[in-house]
């Protein structure tokens, strides 16, 4: 089976991890700081906070923006469930904004309409989480204008988008947001096994996220309730978690991120080749907003349903039977049983639901060969026929 995504682990990665394993610190040592610095240098952000995974990063990002019971968090229905669950962890109420029919990102027109209504109802969101779907940035400039007008905070879910650009600047620089989060799960662009990171330009928010990832404990006298009792003294000043990354993971990440540009370039080559090979088939290929440069985490095609006799499920099953590890990104979050129980219903976000009925993710990963890609294309031609 050709998988839809796959990590690339080199000898240098393995050496870097072994070096940490032989050192004095396998967790909370100096490698975390180095990896954090690498990410922040790449993004040109002031602060970066490494955590166990991106779900933790979303959780502490929401808490750092003081999201809590009675507050509202909005995100896209076409995302991994974690982008919405983080709001529920904080006791907030979740809602979704339908997607744009071309980018599959949050639709800014729909967001504006929903904000106008929410203002009339007194239910404006405190936090909005745009998701840079497949590695293509959302329309952050428009989002920031709306954030200023309606006084909400912005967390970019850039789990797909390390190495992506918006208006020629790195996603993660937080120019138009409060916090950006990245995932380093093995299917993402760069991996640490499990792992995540939050970037921000706000020192207070960064300090708070650092405390929250480690039990709410501080060693900084500026934040202490009492006078310091000397070296070794620490205070727990709020309720935090153990969301720390290990040095073992950070060593892998620091080694991997050196190949970030290479990875994205290789993904772009494969995408250009897919675009060429698939252009005659009855499909909608990924559309790119000229203000963005995608990191190409995913290559998603849409079936042109009236023109094809097969539906998505038939094409999907045929591809799997032919040894192609196609996938679906994503089942709309609001249709999940857990969200159904919260009152969400089929039909609430029609563009997201239409997208879901037509979308298939084809394999794409930097070590994919052209022969493998040809096999995917041949299987797709056969599956559509």
54 binds ligand PLP (CB under 6 A): yes
Q: According to CB under 6 A, which residues from 190 to 229 bind ligand PLP? A: 196
The CB-of-152 to ligand PLP minimum distance in angstroms stands at 19
312's CB contacts (< 8 A; 6+ apart) are 303, 305, 357, 358, 359, 360
In the complex with ligand PLP, the residue whose CB is nearer, 240 or 380, is 240
Q: How far is CA 301 from the centre of its chain?
A: 19
Total residue count of the chain as it appears in this document:
385
Cα–Cα nearest to 171, from 182, 186, 183: 182
- Please name the residue that has the structure tokens 């040109």: 44
Helix (H) or strand (E) holding 375: helix 370-384
The CB-of-54 to ligand PLP minimum distance in angstroms stands at 3
CA-CA distance, 282 to 308, in Å (whole number)?
7
In the complex with ligand PLP, the residue whose CB is nearer, 263 or 278, is 263
From candidates 7, 31, 48, 53, binder to ligand PLP by CB under 6 A = 53
Q: What does the per-residue mask of binding to ligand PLP show for 267-286, with x meaning CB under 6 A?
A: --------------------
The CB-of-21 to ligand PLP minimum distance in angstroms stands at 23
CA-CA distance, 339 to 333, in Å (whole number)?
7
Strand partners, 74: 95, 128
Q: What does the per-residue mask of binding to ligand PLP show for 103-132, with x meaning CB under 6 A?
A: ----------------------------x-
In the complex with ligand PLP, the residue whose CB is nearer, 82 or 257, is 82
DSSP code at position 333: G
CA-CA distance, 365 to 297, in Å (whole number)?
8
The CB-of-87 to ligand PLP minimum distance in angstroms stands at 13
Q: Per CB under 6 A, which region of 112-120, 153-161, 202-210, 237-245 contacts ligand PLP?
A: 153-161
Q: According to CB under 6 A, which residues from 64 to 93 bind ligand PLP? A: 79-80, 82-83
From candidates 85, 159, 199, 201, binder to ligand PLP by CB under 6 A = 159
Token pair belonging to 67: 């999201």
CA-CA distance, 81 to 94, in Å (whole number)?
12
| Alpha helices in 123-246, H assignment, sequence order | 140-150, 203-212
In the complex with ligand PLP, the residue whose CB is nearer, 75 or 218, is 75
55 binds ligand PLP (CB under 6 A): yes
Cα–Cα nearest to 75, from 119, 103, 105, 116: 105
333 binds ligand PLP (CB under 6 A): no
CB 239 within 8 A of CB 337: no
In the complex with ligand PLP, the residue whose CB is nearer, 159 or 201, is 159
Burial class, 383, CB count within 10 angstroms (exposed 0-12 / middle 13-18 / buried 19+): buried
Q: Per CB under 6 A, which region of 49-57, 247-255, 256-264, 272-280 contacts ligand PLP?
A: 49-57
By CB under 6 A, name the binding residues for ligand PLP.
53-55, 79-80, 82-83, 131, 157, 159-160, 183, 185, 196
């Amino acid at each position: 089976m050709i998988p839809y995504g796959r990590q690339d682990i080199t000898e240098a990665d393995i050496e870097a991890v072994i070096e940490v394993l032989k050192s004095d610190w396998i967790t909370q040592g100096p490698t975390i700081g180095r990896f954090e610095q690498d990410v922040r240098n790449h993004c040109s952000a002031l602060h970066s906070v490494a955590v166990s995974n991106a779900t933790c990063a979303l959780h502490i990002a929401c808490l750092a923006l003081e999201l809590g019971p009675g507050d509202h968090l909005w995100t896209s229905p076409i995302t991994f469930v974690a982008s919405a669950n983080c709001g529920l962890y904080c006791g907030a109420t979740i809602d979704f904004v339908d997607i744009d029919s071309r980018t599959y990102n949050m639709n800014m027109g729909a967001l504006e309409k929903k904000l106008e209504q929410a203002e009339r109802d007194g239910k404006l969101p405190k936090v909005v989480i745009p998701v840079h779907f497949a590695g293509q940035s959302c329309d952050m400039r428009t989002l920031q204008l709306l954030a200023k007008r309606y006084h909400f905070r912005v967390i970019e879910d850039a789990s797909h988008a390390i190495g992506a650009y918006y208006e020629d600047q790195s996603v993660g620089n937080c120019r138009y947001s409060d916090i950006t989060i990245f995932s380093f799960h093995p299917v993402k662009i760069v991996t640490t096994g499990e792992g995540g990171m939050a970037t921000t330009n706000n020192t207070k928010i960064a300090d708070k996220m650092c405390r929250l990832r480690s039990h709410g404990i501080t060693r900084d006298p500026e934040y202490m309730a009492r006078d310091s009792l000397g070296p070794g003294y620490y205070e727990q000043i709020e309720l935090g978690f153990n969301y720390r990354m290990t040095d073992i993971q950070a060593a892998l990440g620091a080694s991997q991120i050196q190949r970030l540009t290479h990875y994205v370039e290789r993904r772009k080559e494969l995408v250009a080749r897919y675009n060429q090979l698939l252009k005659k088939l009855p499909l909608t290929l990924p559309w790119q907003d000229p203000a963005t440069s995608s990191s190409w985490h995913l290559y998603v095609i849409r079936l042109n349903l009236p023109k094809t006799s097969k539906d998505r499920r038939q094409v999907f099953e045929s591809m799997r039977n032919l040894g192609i590890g196609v996938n679906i990104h994503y089942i709309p979050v609001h249709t999940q049983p857990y969200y159904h129980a919260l009152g969400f219903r089929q039909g609430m976000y029609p563009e997201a639901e239409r997208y879901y009925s037509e979308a298939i993710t084809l394999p794409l990963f930097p070590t994919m060969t052209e022969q493998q890609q040809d096999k995917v294309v041949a299987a797709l031609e056969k599956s559509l026929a």
